[in-house]
Amino acid sequence: MNKKYTETSKFLSYILRHQPESVGLSLNKEGWAVISDLILLSAKEGYEINYDFLQSIVENSDKKRFIISEDGLRIRASQGHSTQDVSIQYSEKTPPEILYHGTAIRFISSIREQGLIPKERQYVHLSEDKGTGYQVGQRYGKPIILIIKTMEMHEQGFKFYQAENGVWLTDSVPFKFIQV
Ligand code: HQG
């Protein structure tokens, strides 16, 4: 990936998940932004984005972070939001037996006390494959993969959702469902 691509993708994550107001962009409750607005506002911040470039970022994003609406007019982040203005109505889904959560070893003692909590984001993020978990954990230090007993949680009434890009979401994970 070239630098412009990576920088623009990070900028999109920032405005579509965290701080749309920092550039004057509005997102609706479902997280959608009007692409023509986004292009104009991004240009003011020095990001040269045209429709084709945006489309290629959406298609080539390793984690499929963004999605363009069927009519081609709007874009949103599939998951990962911290902005409270967005509240995507994900539909509930039965999880597999287990899912993974990658984190940093230095967080383990706190996780033992509190379980997994969403921190800045709206949900705790879980993945189906260890590799993704490992990469995610690495962002905060020496990584460790936690195994989450998601079916057991489901049986006890915890709700699970899956975003368009396959990432699983839940509100919190008490420590008793975590295998370190
Ligand atoms: C940790 C990436 C101490 C948690 C990925 C994580 C993901 C605790 C960090 C998405 C804790 C929060 C989300 C507790 C949780 N005590 N630490 N009680 N509970 N933590 O970035 O899951 O590349 O908000 O383990 O693919 O790391 O951005 O969440 O280490 O889907 O597209 O607190 O971000 O996607 O960190 O990552 P984050 P995450 P992108």
**Which mutation among 117, 119, 165, 176 tests ligand 1's pocket best, with the greatest number of atoms within 8 A of CB?**
119
Tens of pLDDT, residues 49-86? 999 999 999 999 989 999 999 999 999 999 999 999 99
Cα distance between residue 19 and residue 16, in whole Å? 7
Tens of pLDDT, residues 33-46? 999 999 999 999 99
Number of the ligand 1 atom closest to the C-alpha atom of 139? 27
**Residue 164 in tokens:** 């368009």
Over 80: is that where the pLDDT of 144 sits? yes
Residues of the chain with CATH 1.10.10.970: 3-77
Residues of the chain with CATH 3.20.170.30: 99-179
Q: Does any ligand 1 atom lie closer than 6 A to the CB of residue 120?
A: yes
Q: Does any ligand 1 atom lie closer than 6 A to the CB of residue 180?
A: no
| CA of residue 176 to ligand 1 center, whole Å | 19
| CA of residue 103 to ligand 1 center, whole Å | 7
Over 70: is that where the pLDDT of 1 sits? no
Cα distances from 41 to residues 26, 33, 38, 112, 176, in angstroms, run: 11, 11, 5, 43, 46
Cα distance between residue 19 and residue 17, in whole Å? 7
Q: How many other CB atoms are found less than 10 A from the CB of residue 99?
A: 24
Over 90: is that where the pLDDT of 6 sits? yes
Q: How many other CB atoms are found less than 10 A from the CB of residue 12?
A: 23
Backbone angles phi, psi at 15, to 5 degrees: -85, -25
CATH of domain 3-77: 1.10.10.970
| CA of residue 71 to ligand 1 center, whole Å | 32
Q: pTM, whole model, 2 decimals? A: 0.95
Q: Atom 32 (ligand 1): residue with closest C-alpha?
A: 65
- CA nearest 13: which of 36, 37, 33? 33
Tens of pLDDT, residues 151-164? 999 999 999 999 99
CATH of 99-179, one of 3.20.170.30, 1.10.10.60, 1.10.1370.30, 3.50.50.60: 3.20.170.30
Tens of pLDDT, residues 16-36? 999 999 999 999 999 999 999
